[in-house]
Amino acid sequence: MTNDVKEIFGSAGAPPAPPAPAALAAKVRTLAPSMTRSMQRVAEAVADDPAGCAALTVTGLAELTGTSEATVVRTARLLGYPGYRDLRLALAGLAAQQQSGRAPAITTDIAVDDPIADVVAKLAYDEQQTLADTAAGLDTVQLAAAVTALAGARRTDVYGVGASGLVAQDLTQKLLRIGLMAHAHSDPHLAVTNAVQLRSGDVAIAVTHSGTTGDVIEPLRVAFERGATTVAVTGRPDSPVTQYADHVLTTSTARESELRPAAMSSRTGQLLVVDCLFVGVAQRTYDAAAPALSASYEALAHRHRATRKGP
Amino acid sequence: MTNDVKEIFGSAGAPPAPPAPAALAAKVRTLAPSMTRSMQRVAEAVADDPAGCAALTVTGLAELTGTSEATVVRTARLLGYPGYRDLRLALAGLAAQQQSGRAPAITTDIAVDDPIADVVAKLAYDEQQTLADTAAGLDTVQLAAAVTALAGARRTDVYGVGASGLVAQDLTQKLLRIGLMAHAHSDPHLAVTNAVQLRSGDVAIAVTHSGTTGDVIEPLRVAFERGATTVAVTGRPDSPVTQYADHVLTTSTARESELRPAAMSSRTGQLLVVDCLFVGVAQRTYDAAAPALSASYEALAHRHRATRKGP
DNA sequence: GCCCGGGACGAAAATATCTTTCATTCCGTG
DNA sequence: CACGGAATGAAAGATATTTTCGTCCCGGGC
């Protein structure tokens, strides 16, 4: 009795979302926290051995992970594919890329007794990984839309607290340098107070790794309701903050640990996104941005070299 | 020049012919003469557009080539695959390889008319490069010395203005989280005022890319003269700031350009150094740092709402 | 010219695989 | 400790792939 409605796509409400080619590993890590236990097992297996999983049928993968076919399909959906068949295809592609590409590197976690040289190497590797994953997983359509909004904005507010607050400030500093009206708010009260002033044509950006920081969501919600164009920079594309975001820019989440708190790698990804926004806007408004950039550079020149030698 | 180990899949012990990874086009040409007319049409379509064919079901490909499913399967067999399913998988892999093969244009500078996807790729690549260079060039002896000083410091002041000011704040935030007394100063006057209070056993850290920022050098000089242990995080190991630094931590300087100001890549390197300092100190003071870290984490928990998806 | 064998080819049945549904189980909560 | 809701898997349902089998076309022999 099932009247065949074309319901193949759009089950998760992401119509213009193209599947991920090589950004799969990143996507797994990004979405893992919002997955259920069984799904995590599947996702882990998939990220762990793309080639091996690509050779398995849905039943095989279900058995391998000790779950059911349904769970495997659910996981595939969550990762952005219409079904397992397409995930498998992407997996084969990923495997081929890895094969032709380079070998994976050290993935050990940082230990308390690691020599300092190892710490440097591991941190650098992790942050590089975060950059690669974030770049691969970034939705350029969303990014372009955000850039367009920023370039034409009357005024831009950026919200972020804690480590993300610094990212917000970084973006603000950059935008100011090319002549945009931008403010960073880390005080939640002031943020809301200012958000009320926003209207259509303005832009509000929320930076939060977890996507659950109430102090950041609240001003974004206000801005959203006032008609401003809202952007969320978050590591959880399904988190509450995205409810009020016209455009969601997802940062990749690398592994975290006791000695390597979230603030470290999430910040790296967030900053990349911020840089992309900045360069994008600078491109769009080049005629105005270029002179502004050099002007700000020159204005600072006299504060350098002003050092006197010893006493 | 990566020496790749040839991966052979010998799990099932199938002595016949292992599937062809990328040599598919060649195989098609080799076997074409021995094919029947319909099969040739299929093989041609497959060799012509791997990506497109990978998206098709056996029925779709049959229709596209004006043949039947059986013929498609026969062709797949002839090409050395158990069935169409596996051919399709190989096709997806081939497509992915081709895709990734054409992305070496990243080494160029960012141009005003670069599409947004290129901007993302170039920025990510550059920052990765910066990380690698900084990690490679970092003097671990100096780093270890700085860590030791920090771990035993009564109090730590961090100086930085502009973009480096955010890095200074980042370090401060982290150190505070593990129970150290740290302050970031971006106000030059207050920085100097506070520097006067420092004495032997305290630590002062200056963050400046150019190493010539007077506003940052001055407080470091004061701290240096008061007997504090001083550290410089700079991109120029021979710049004025190093005069007053007991330990110099050098960040790598990547290429900069009009659209890519210094603040971007220097910041990335600085943050890596900061992370290394943080982890190093956390290691040294693990017994105190670990509880402090989890305490600060828990204290923030209630500011996050429970996250669950559900449309 | 007509008949016949051999093989290409495709329609449809048979099978494998994927997807959906739905009842059960598990877990957190009041 | 019962309750509600989500997570999960078993099995039904839908698709895709493979196999089967008969038709048709071609070329050669009678």
pLDDT higher for B121 or B254? Answer: B121
Measuring CA to CA, how many Å separate B44 from each of B17, B47, B60, B75? 22, 5, 15, 11
- What is the mean predicted confidence (pLDDT) over B176-185? 92
Minimal CA separation from A106 to chain B, in Å:
15
Minimal CA separation from B168 to chain A, in Å:
10
Q: Which residues of B touch A22 (CB under 8 A)?
A: 96, 100
- Smallest CA–CA distance from A172 into chain B, residue: B163
| Residues constituting chain A | 311
The percent of residues above 90 in pLDDT, for chain A, comes to 50
Residue–nucleotide distance: B19 CA to D26 C1' (Å)? 34
Give the per-residue pLDDT at A80.
Answer: 87
Residue–nucleotide distance: A79 CA to C22 C1' (Å)? 24
pLDDT grade for A237, boundaries at 50, 70 and 90: confident
pLDDT grade for B97, boundaries at 50, 70 and 90: confident
Q: Edge-to-edge, what's the strand order for the sheet holding A182-185?
A: A182-185, A156-159, A203-208, A229-234, A247-250
Q: In this structure, which amino acid lies at residue B272?
A: L
pLDDT above 50 for A242: yes
Give the per-residue pLDDT at B308.
Answer: 40
Chain A from 153 to 172: CB within 8 A of any B CB = 162-163, 166, 169-170
Question: How far is the C-alpha of B129 from the C-alpha of A124, rounded, in Å?
Answer: 10
Question: How far is the C-alpha of A39 from the C-alpha of A44, rounded, in Å?
Answer: 8
Are residues A212 and B88, on separate chains, in Cβ contact within 8 Å?
no
- What is the mean predicted confidence (pLDDT) over A112-138? 88
Question: How far is the C-alpha of A157 from the C-alpha of A155, rounded, in Å?
Answer: 7
pLDDT grade for A87, boundaries at 50, 70 and 90: very high
* Full set of structural domains in chain A with CATH: 18-101 (1.10.10.10), 134-299 (3.40.50.10490)
Measured between CB atoms, does A297 come within 8 Å of chain B?
yes
- Smallest CA–CA distance from B177 into chain A, residue: A261
**CB A299: neighbour CB atoms within 10 A?**
9
Give the per-residue pLDDT at A286.
Answer: 87
pLDDT grade for B38, boundaries at 50, 70 and 90: confident
Whether the CB-CB separation of B234 and B251 falls below 8 Å is answered with yes
Chain A from 5 to 24: CB within 8 A of any B CB = 12-13, 21-22
Summarised one tens digit per residue, pLDDT across range B255-299 is 666 556 656 778 999 999 999 999 999 999 988 877 777 777 666
Q: Which residues of B touch A174 (CB under 8 A)?
A: 263
List bases, strand D, within 7 Å of protein CB. Answer: 6-21
Give the per-residue pLDDT at B31.
Answer: 75
Are residues A92 and B96, on separate chains, in Cβ contact within 8 Å?
yes
Question: How far is the C-alpha of B31 from the C-alpha of B39, rounded, in Å?
Answer: 10
pLDDT higher for A84 or A28? Answer: A84
Summarised one tens digit per residue, pLDDT across range A13-39 is 333 344 445 677 777 877 877 788 889
DSSP string, chain A: -------SS-TTS-TT-PPPSSTHHHHHHHHGGGS-HHHHHHHHHHHH-HHHHHTS-HHHHHHHHTS-HHHHHHHHHHTT-SSHHHHHHHHHHHHHHHHHS------PPP-TT--HHHHHHHHHHHHHHHHHHHHHH--HHHHHHHHHHHHT-S-EEEE--THHHHHHHHHHHHHHHTT--EEEE-SHHHHHHHHTT--TT-EEEEEESSS-BHHHHHHHHHHHHTT-EEEEEES-TTSGGGGG-SEEEEPP-----SSS-HHHHHHHHHHHHHHHHHHHHHHHTHHHHHHHHHHHHHHHHTTBS-PPP--
Question: How far is the C-alpha of B284 from the C-alpha of B291, rounded, in Å?
Answer: 14
Whether the CB-CB separation of B270 and B167 falls below 8 Å is answered with yes
Q: Which nucleotide's C1' sits nearest to the alpha carbon of B74?
A: D18
DSSP string, B75-126: HHHHTT-SSHHHHHHHHHHHHHHHHHHS--GGGSPP-TT--HHHHHHHHHHH
pLDDT above 80 for B302: no
pLDDT grade for B79, boundaries at 50, 70 and 90: confident
- Residue in B201, B205, B162 with CA at minimum distance from that of residue B184: B205
pLDDT above 70 for B184: yes
Axis crossing angle, helix A140-151 with helix B116-137, rounded to the nearest 10 = 100
Chain B from 255 to 274: CB within 8 A of any A CB = 258-261, 263-264, 267-268, 271-272
Of B96, B112, B276, Cβ closest to residue A119 = B276
Give the per-residue pLDDT at B154.
Answer: 93
List bases, strand C, within 7 Å of protein CB. Answer: 7-13, 16-22, 29
Of B99, B272, B309, Cβ closest to residue A127 = B272
pTM, to two decimals: 0.76
Minimal CA separation from A263 to chain B, in Å:
9
Give the per-residue pLDDT at B22.
Answer: 56
Query: How high does pLDDT run on average in chain A?
Result: 83
Of A99-108, A130-139, B90-99, B261-270, the range with the highest mean pLDDT is A130-139
User: Out of A86-95, B18-27, B58-67, which region has the weakest mean confidence (pLDDT)?
Assistant: B18-27
Give the per-residue pLDDT at A13.
Answer: 36
Minimal CA separation from A129 to chain B, in Å:
8
Summarised one tens digit per residue, pLDDT across range B196-211 is 999 999 999 999 998 8
Q: Which two tokens stand for residue B26?
A: 């060649």
pLDDT above 70 for A256: no
pLDDT grade for A210, boundaries at 50, 70 and 90: confident
The torsion region of residue B4 among left (phi > 0), alpha (psi -120 to 50) and beta comes to beta
pLDDT above 50 for B152: yes
Measured between CB atoms, does B225 come within 8 Å of chain A?
yes
Q: Which residues of A touch B309 (CB under 8 A)?
A: 34, 238
pLDDT grade for B9, boundaries at 50, 70 and 90: very low
